[in-house]
Structure 1
């Protein structure tokens, strides 16, 4: 079919849509609020699934859990880049 897109074309189309949406957004910070609140709730649930901790303790632990999550992503990314460099040298 003529309407079928390759994965790269679908990605490009999605990128165009995302950039177009953000270009029209008058308050980007407020538009991100639900996503940021959801992410924070995820980490709070992770560190206090029963909701028994004091709010300030839960918030401190959630912040640490968030930092650990992002550090793990950094490590994974770093290892992937190193592996890709090794593949490029071998080629």
Structure 2
């Protein structure tokens, strides 16, 4: 089903149905971790390259920098979520 001409609210519902259907087949925590392992590794690799593009930081410093980037990522997501909720409330 092409979704390009649908309103954002309907596209969101379609995506929610698809995600819930996909994850309904994954029942154990180990299976969930395995299903998301590649994406988690790629995200961590991206943060490592962002924190230390020349590869010169010691492992402890790299870990701290990656931790800060991860925190910034989730804070940014929380901010966007709050802004979206405020926008919906205002309309």
Q: TM-score normalised to the size of structure 1?
A: 0.69
Deviation, structure 1 residue 10:
4.6
| 1:57–1:4 distance in 2 versus 1, CA, 3 Å | closer
**2:67 matched to 1:66?**
no
Per the alignment, residue 53 of structure 2 pairs with 49
Which structure 1 residue ranges, 4+ long, deviate > 6 Å from structure 2?
A: none
Query: Where in structure 2 are there 5+ consecutive unaligned residues?
Result: none
Q: How many residues get paired?
A: 85
Structure 1 CA distance for aligned equivalents of residues 53 and 42 of structure 2: 15
CA RMSD after TM alignment: 2.5
Query: Where in structure 1 are there 5+ consecutive unaligned residues?
Result: none
